[in-house]
Structure 1
Amino acid sequence: MESSGKRQKKVSVGKQIDRLSGLPDDVLIHILSFLPTKLSVSTSILARRWRFLWAHVPNLDFDSQTHNTERSFADIINRVIMLRKVQSINTFRICCSDNCRVYKLETWLATAVAHNVQTLDLRFDYHVMFPRCIFTCETLVDLRFRGFLGYFSPGDIIRLTSLKKLHLTFDKYWYCDRNLPHLLSGCPVLEELIIDGVVDQYKHKYIISSPSIKRLMLNFQCNTYDSQSCAYRLVITAPSLRYFQLIDCFPGYILCERLSSLIEADVSFNNCKVVGEDYSYTLSVLGKLDVVSNVKSLKLSSGIVFNLSAFGDRSISFDNLTKLELDAHWLILTKFLEIANNLQVIILRKVDTRLKHWMEPKQVPKCLISHLTIIRIDGMGRTKQEFDMVRYLLRNALVLKKMEIFSGPNAIDFKQNLMRSREFLRFSVDLWHVSLLSFEIVWG
């Protein structure tokens, strides 16, 4: 005879099954729309009611890496498209690592376009030309393409009147100086543009012109050890731009009108191939910073030591900057204190101490006297340079209200060693002379 505990367990499991089966078909189809098509189709074996539910799912998601059956990847896509019953296609995604016949791809995409597809996600690990059949898809809202853009002829008509998001990924030169302006000209309501690319020895030129773009994200990587040969030119005309992200690994320059609508920027300079304090690369970085000098919030990451003399040759001011997130060495922090008079919040993600001494500004910056209220330091060590920096900020930030210091990993050892250090004792004495509403060191 079964125990009451086992009977209760069976009943509870049965209730869970009944609860799922009791949901309306529309709800079950909505749940299936979040699954890859392979998993969605596999639910057809659960029960008679589930046999064709997958055919009503408006999303199609195919990945060749999960394909392990005898039937070919192309045959599976053909069969799914043939058996589906829903009239519209919301999302169509293909991730393919093997060569696929061009005419098959164009047939699938033509079917998606004919069924008013809204999101296309096309990712190929080999060179696939940008499909011409989607050039005039007026229902497309979100397009992601990884492959080879190819060459657009002047006669190609591009009419993507609903496209708001465009994400392009490439690993080889793709006529960006000709194709990109042509492509963007056919996207009148585009709001977000993302470009991930590997730049080789060619002198690339990117022309980004759009009156509607609000978010622009560029990730330029270099596939050669001679980073100096990868210099590029970037021309931006985007009067509505509000957010700009640039991940940059080699020299280049940006030409654009003042981005008056820009509010937030995230810029990363990590040219590990530049040896020493390269003067030309420092000038290149300063020129790119000048482009985003109108922002209110700036996140800046740099893995290089800048040439000191280059800073004296270039004048930049960040009059609107109120929040700065920094992962760089002393010199950058010192410069921003001098050129950002309205700075209110400083977040130091990592303190780079490759320079031997804390570089104090020549005179107390205006932001310290009247605006800076919050300072946060992540991953602080216990070097003299770090304490010199913190002491300087505490002594001169007259309106400072809150300072937080996070020790990072190995918090217990850090705390014990820190408490015994001479610099911490001096630092504790200095705190008595500072009026703060909140001061906290977080161990770990």
Structure 2
Amino acid sequence: MGCDRISELPESLLTQILSYLPTKDSVKTSVLLKRWENLWLRVPVLDLNVSNFPRHGKGFRSFIENFLEFNKKSRILQGYIYIDNPKFVVSWPSLKIMHLEQIIYDDAPLIMEKFISGCPVLEDLTVIDPQDYSTGGLQLLRVKSQSLKSFRLTFDSMIMDGAAFAVEIDASRLEHLSFEDNQFAAIAVKNLASLFMIKIDIEFDVMSCNSPLEPEDLSTIVTIHDFLTGISSVRHMIISESTVKVLYLYSHYRPIPKFDNLYRLETDFSRYMLQFLPVFLESCPNLRNLIVKEFWHRVPIGQTELTYVPQCLVSTLECVEIKNLDMEEESWKKLVRYFLENSVVLKKLLLRFRGSFISNRDSVFNELLTYTKLSPSCEIVIH
């Protein structure tokens, strides 16, 4: 006769196993045996969706209250909380991970602040599609935390027209920051001295207006300047083509602030903005690794000139990777020549071409070997 080996496992291991299940499935295990009846209540993860509750989610509050009442010293470490309109006081002293998605309710900024302030050891926060039911979009999101290490804010769907979105971040221990989508009108940051990596895909409401940045757009210019200054301690930056376009327009009015700690940069540059690449690199004097994903447009090659040599090419840049190259076009060779002829300490130049097979790879490689290299030890690699 078979025996129940799983039920013989230590409780700590069983709760860890249940933590990988959605909470609704974890609850179902309570009918297995007496030992499993309340085991799910001790799982340190909540993964809930209001649609799982009857009467349009009205049982959600009761569920949470019963859960906390059973285990008043709850050690919840992670939560995926899909809610409608929380009226209860948030107090999760052990919560470290929180994922909020498609939260729709009145007075959204106040509710969001309540969630964050009620989690004193929160380390990882993700907010997706926040919306204020009364306005169609969350007007302002304040993230103030002394424990937060990672924050991601993104929109998977479009908010209503005319809804301005702004975010304020004050997090002295924040290490990873990610903004995705183009629906941010203003971003204010401070106390980000611990910032290690940032992913930026925002337009500051510039590109959506279908008009270039003008001198009279002083508030937008100041907002961009303050944001760049606030993240200037970052070491690893991933920046989208849309944001590069905004910075290109911004650079006509003010210089890009220095990123003295930045050692790795991943960015998208279309050909018509390549002349801005050295200007942007000048703000990264200690850059060691550069990854450029190019989007080639049909622009005459003569219109793209690369003559200025930034400080990082002279002293620190060791590895350059250029992606999405088109073997049929000649213009990529100008960019390759630029790095080879001006990079003093370059160790590797990695070229990635479109397509899975390059018939004339050897001839291309042999041609590259004829280029002048300021760094004799630089290795050229083709993929």
TM-score bracket, shorter-length normalisation: 0.7 to 0.9
Q: Which amino acid aligns with 1:246?
A: F
Residue of 89, 96, 101 corresponding to 2:42: 89
- In the alignment, the residues of structure 2 paired with residue 107 and residue 309 of structure 1 have an alpha-carbon distance, to the nearest angstrom, of 52
Structure-1 residue corresponding to 2:258: 317
Structure-2 residue corresponding to 1:302: 241
Q: Deviations over 1:89-117 (max 9, x none)?
A: 2144444646613564344334432443x
- In the alignment, the residues of structure 2 paired with residue 319 and residue 294 of structure 1 have an alpha-carbon distance, to the nearest angstrom, of 7
Structure-2 residue corresponding to 1:326: 267
Q: Deviations over 1:265-297 (max 9, x none)?
A: 111237998375642799566664443222011
**Cα shift at 1:33:** 6.6
Q: Which amino acid aligns with 2:311?
A: K
Contact 2:46–2:80 (Cα < 8 Å) also in 1: no
- In the alignment, the residues of structure 1 paired with residue 32 and residue 60 of structure 2 have an alpha-carbon distance, to the nearest angstrom, of 14
Change (3 A) 1:336 1:80: farther
Q: Which amino acid aligns with 2:294?
A: V
Within 5 A, what are the aligned runs for 1:8-407?
25-26=8-9, 34=17, 61-62=23-24, 84-87=36-39, 88-90=41-43, 91-95=45-49, 97=51, 100-101=54-55, 102=57, 104-116=59-71, 138-150=74-86, 157-170=89-102, 172=104, 174-197=106-129, 201-202=136-137, 204-221=139-156, 223-224=158-159, 226=161, 229-269=162-202, 274=208, 276=210, 278-279=212-213, 283=221, 288-303=227-242, 306=245, 308-315=248-255, 316-329=257-270, 330=274, 333-348=277-292, 350-354=293-297, 356=299, 357=301, 359-360=304-305, 363-382=308-327, 383-407=329-353
**Cα shift at 1:345:** 0.5
Which of 247-256 and 79-88 deviates more? Answer: 79-88
- In the alignment, the residues of structure 2 paired with residue 143 and residue 388 of structure 1 have an alpha-carbon distance, to the nearest angstrom, of 50
Change (3 A) 1:96 1:190: closer
Change (3 A) 1:24 1:178: closer
Change (3 A) 1:302 1:95: same
Structure 2 residue matching 1:112: 3-state secondary structure: helix
By relative contact order (CA 8 Å, sep 6+), the higher-ranking structure is 2
Structure 2 residue matching 1:367: 3-state secondary structure: helix
**Cα shift at 1:437:** 4.2
- In the alignment, the residues of structure 2 paired with residue 436 and residue 246 of structure 1 have an alpha-carbon distance, to the nearest angstrom, of 38
Percent identity between the two aligned chains: 21
Change (3 A) 1:360 1:287: farther
Structure-2 residue corresponding to 1:416: 359
Q: Which amino acid aligns with 2:24?
A: F
Q: Which amino acid aligns with 2:96?
A: K
Structure 1 residue matching 2:9: 3-state secondary structure: helix
Contact 2:346–2:375 (Cα < 8 Å) also in 1: no
Within 5 A, what are the aligned runs for 1:419-438?
427-431=368-372, 435-438=376-379
- In the alignment, the residues of structure 1 paired with residue 136 and residue 19 of structure 2 have an alpha-carbon distance, to the nearest angstrom, of 39
**Cα shift at 1:254:** 1.5
Structure 2 residue matching 1:325: 3-state secondary structure: strand
- In the alignment, the residues of structure 2 paired with residue 286 and residue 222 of structure 1 have an alpha-carbon distance, to the nearest angstrom, of 28
**Cα shift at 1:341:** 0.5
Change (3 A) 1:33 1:323: closer
Q: Which runs of 5+ in 2 are unaligned?
A: none
Structure-2 residue corresponding to 1:120: none
**Cα shift at 1:24:** 7.9
Could you state the TM-score of these two structures normalised by the residue count of structure 2? Answer: 0.77
Q: Deviations over 1:375-396 (max 9, x none)?
A: 1123222333321111101110
Structure 2 residue matching 1:391: 3-state secondary structure: helix
- In the alignment, the residues of structure 1 paired with residue 141 and residue 10 of structure 2 have an alpha-carbon distance, to the nearest angstrom, of 45
Q: Which amino acid aligns with 1:142?
A: Q
- In the alignment, the residues of structure 1 paired with residue 13 and residue 114 of structure 2 have an alpha-carbon distance, to the nearest angstrom, of 37
- In the alignment, the residues of structure 1 paired with residue 100 and residue 346 of structure 2 have an alpha-carbon distance, to the nearest angstrom, of 44
Structure 2 residue matching 1:256: 3-state secondary structure: strand
Change (3 A) 1:244 1:386: same
Q: Deviations over 1:357-384 (max 9, x none)?
A: 5755663111000000011123222333
Change (3 A) 1:180 1:379: same
Structure 1 segments, 4+ long, off by >6 Å, are 20-24, 80-83, 270-273, 418-421
Q: Deviations over 1:94-145 (max 9, x none)?
A: 44646613564344334432443xxxxxxxxxxxxxxxxxxx7653221211
Q: Deviations over 1:203-242 (max 9, x none)?
A: 611111111111111113552584xx34322111111111
Alignment length, in residue pairs?
363
- In the alignment, the residues of structure 2 paired with residue 202 and residue 93 of structure 1 have an alpha-carbon distance, to the nearest angstrom, of 25
Structure 2 residue matching 1:340: 3-state secondary structure: coil
- In the alignment, the residues of structure 2 paired with residue 258 and residue 224 of structure 1 have an alpha-carbon distance, to the nearest angstrom, of 29
**Cα shift at 1:179:** 1.6
- In the alignment, the residues of structure 1 paired with residue 241 and residue 5 of structure 2 have an alpha-carbon distance, to the nearest angstrom, of 56
Change (3 A) 1:360 1:278: same
Structure 2 residue matching 1:430: 3-state secondary structure: coil
